[in-house]
Structure 1
Amino acid sequence: MGRIVYCNGVFTPEEDARISIFDRGFLFGDAIYEVTAVLAGRLIDNDLHLDRLERSLAALSIPMPVSRAELEQIQAELMARNELAEGIIYLQVSRGEADRDFLYPEGLKPNFVAFTQAKKLADTPAQRNGISVDLTEDLRWARRDIKTAMLLGQVLAKRQARTDGYDDVWMVQDGLVTEGSSSTAFIITADNRVVTRPNSRSTLPGCTRHAVLRLCQTHGLRLDERAFSPAEAQAAVEAFVTSASSFVTPVVRIGDVAIGDGRPGPLTRRLQSYYIEAALGSVPALPG
């Protein structure tokens, strides 16, 4: 039997799941999504992800498709049915379906789908060895704080970076780094200050970012929430990115400049360890 997915109230084999061609997520990208990591059979930072899902839906005036408790039950059921020990759970809520029109009718019923993806998240080659990131102009829409399914800008930027020999890309607007194409950008200065841009409409409020900032406070690390330029990033002694599916991943090259000695730095290594320890030590495993 293949993967079991959730589609509008029904758990079903993936090949049997159906969404209308008139779904506004399909026609307009009028949809919100979330990704929660699963490690050792545990949902990681799930409360933060569900908080953000609710905020994003509210920002677009899309109602929650089910209660939060029901949503958590759906996640647990997907993990159990697919025997997911490590990977992600993807959630997507669209405004619903109606004949194509920019002005949607009131009272649409949201479409809600969810599925698992089994994949290795911890101790990956990228986390062990670090990644290279290119720099590109940020051409996305202004409300990046809402986690919508409109990801074409990121798709094109990632594709071009890979074509040019990089692992990923950082976006730049008005001479300052906004964020990675699907991650939060961090640098570490020569005096061991952890620096990342503050939350605003220009960036997605990353859940893993939030967890890492909390770890900085817990372990007494010096933290600056401020914007930084590509030049400052290239002059940093260390750099890294955070996301739900990559945790804390070192960045060893930005553009054509090696960061530090071109290898993951010691403070990034500490944050990697702190994050995994906190995730596995504080999050109870769901019944399976």
Structure 2
Amino acid sequence: MFNALSKVWAVALMNTDIVYLNGRYLPANEAQVSVFDRGFLFADSVYEVIPYYQGVGFRLQQHLDRLAYSLRAIRIAADDDWRSILDGLVERNGGGNLSVYLQISRGSAGSRTHAYDQSMTPTVFACCSPIKDIYALGADQVKGYTVIVSADLRWHRCDIKSTGLLPNILVLQQAREAGADEALLVRDGLLSEGTSCNLFVVRQGVIYTPKRSSEILGGTTRELILELAAEAGIPFQEVDIRPEELANADEVWVSSSTRGVIPVIEIDGTPVADGQKGPLWQQMFALFTRFQHRLMTGEK
């Protein structure tokens, strides 16, 4: 009887997601955060999403540098050994190819109050989820997005990776209710990005993407796409893009760390060019997924 119960318990442990919370690795269903945590009450927190391939953080230092930037920007004093924490979490979840979510809030003051002081202890939380091998799908199986164009109602510090994502959520829901997959955001007459993705517009063989500013989050996948374009000799420019320019686009893409690079085939009910996945996207998809697949499998 004891051996049977031990086996059941062992299997249960193997199937339990392990998370990190304030210095401890523990099953997700045992993790608890104070109801007075400022991340819960005010979204007074920042986050990163970091892909791990074969147990190794991809561009981990770039993510940690951006995390440090976000923490400084909202004045949270947290300087834990993030690399060791995340490596340990991935190892405890079986290693391999995982996406790691890391969130740091200002912590709990023991009551609900807008004021805070620097003596508060930050709340540090991290969890994992599997990474999909986009390469295994192939370009033909990738669904082209339909999108809407909507006003960008977010705050003006989108360069800070804050968990205050309510405007993003509401606009994405607006897109879903319109039968679309995503929304492209416009502020002061310029396109910025999607609700959780960066934007690319192709005209006459040149890739255009909004230039870095406090109005957009400079995604690591965005940077990788530009690097792959440079290596392949594909010209690109970081420029201001107006929404009316979408009507003359040959191709439109969006990108994120969890979705890769996705073609946009329809905007506000109007097809992009001929409404098909464009040839330059086909080329970039091949470059991107080959790069990702090598990381996931170790192939040369």
TM-score (norm. length: structure 1):
0.90
Please say if residues 54 and 296 of structure 2, whose CA atoms lie closer than 8 Å, have aligned partners that are also in contact.
no
Query: How do 1:141-180 and structure 2 match up within 5 A?
Result: 141-180=155-194
Distance 1:133 1:42, change over 3 A: farther
Which residue of the partner structure matches residue 232 of structure 2?
219
Please say if residues 19 and 27 of structure 2, whose CA atoms lie closer than 8 Å, have aligned partners that are also in contact.
yes
Please say if residues 96 and 111 of structure 1, whose CA atoms lie closer than 8 Å, have aligned partners that are also in contact.
yes
Query: How do 1:49-198 and structure 2 match up within 5 A?
Result: 49-67=63-81, 71-83=82-94, 85-98=96-109, 99-120=111-132, 122-123=134-135, 128-189=142-203, 191-198=204-211
Larger CA Rg, structure 1 vs 2: 2
Separation in structure 1 between the aligned mates of residue 49 and residue 274 of structure 2, nearest angstrom: 33
Match of 2:125, as an amino acid?
Answer: V
Deviation at 1:175, TM superposition (A): 2.0
Match of 2:286, as an amino acid?
Answer: S
Separation in structure 2 between the aligned mates of residue 61 and residue 283 of structure 1, nearest angstrom: 36
RMSD after superposition:
2.1
Q: Secondary structure at the residue paired with 1:129?
A: coil
Deviation at 1:40, TM superposition (A): 5.4
Q: Determine which structure has greater relative contact order: mean sequence separation of CA pairs < 8 Å that are 6+ residues apart, divided by chain length.
A: 1
> More displaced, 11-20 or 117-126?
117-126
Matched, 1:207 2:205: no
Separation in structure 1 between the aligned mates of residue 60 and residue 281 of structure 2, nearest angstrom: 23
Identity of aligned residues (%): 35
Runs of 4+ aligned residues of structure 1 deviating over 6 Å after TM superposition are 282-285
Which residue of the partner structure matches residue 32 of structure 2?
18
Separation in structure 2 between the aligned mates of residue 96 and residue 14 of structure 1, nearest angstrom: 19
Separation in structure 2 between the aligned mates of residue 122 and residue 31 of structure 1, nearest angstrom: 31
Which residue of the partner structure matches residue 10 of structure 2?
none
TM-score (norm. length: structure 2):
0.87
Write the deviation string for residues 200-247 of structure 1: whole angstroms up to 9, x where unpaired.
011111111111112222222111111212221232111111111111
Separation in structure 1 between the aligned mates of residue 184 and residue 202 of structure 2, nearest angstrom: 16
Matched, 1:275 2:288: yes
Separation in structure 1 between the aligned mates of residue 29 and residue 50 of structure 2, nearest angstrom: 23
Separation in structure 2 between the aligned mates of residue 271 and residue 48 of structure 1, nearest angstrom: 22
Query: How do 1:227-238 and structure 2 match up within 5 A?
Result: 227-238=240-251
Deviation at 1:121, TM superposition (A): 5.0
> More displaced, 33-42 or 138-147?
33-42
Please say if residues 134 and 255 of structure 1, whose CA atoms lie closer than 8 Å, have aligned partners that are also in contact.
yes
Deviation at 1:120, TM superposition (A): 2.3
Q: Structure 1: give runs of 5+ residues left out of the alignment.
A: none
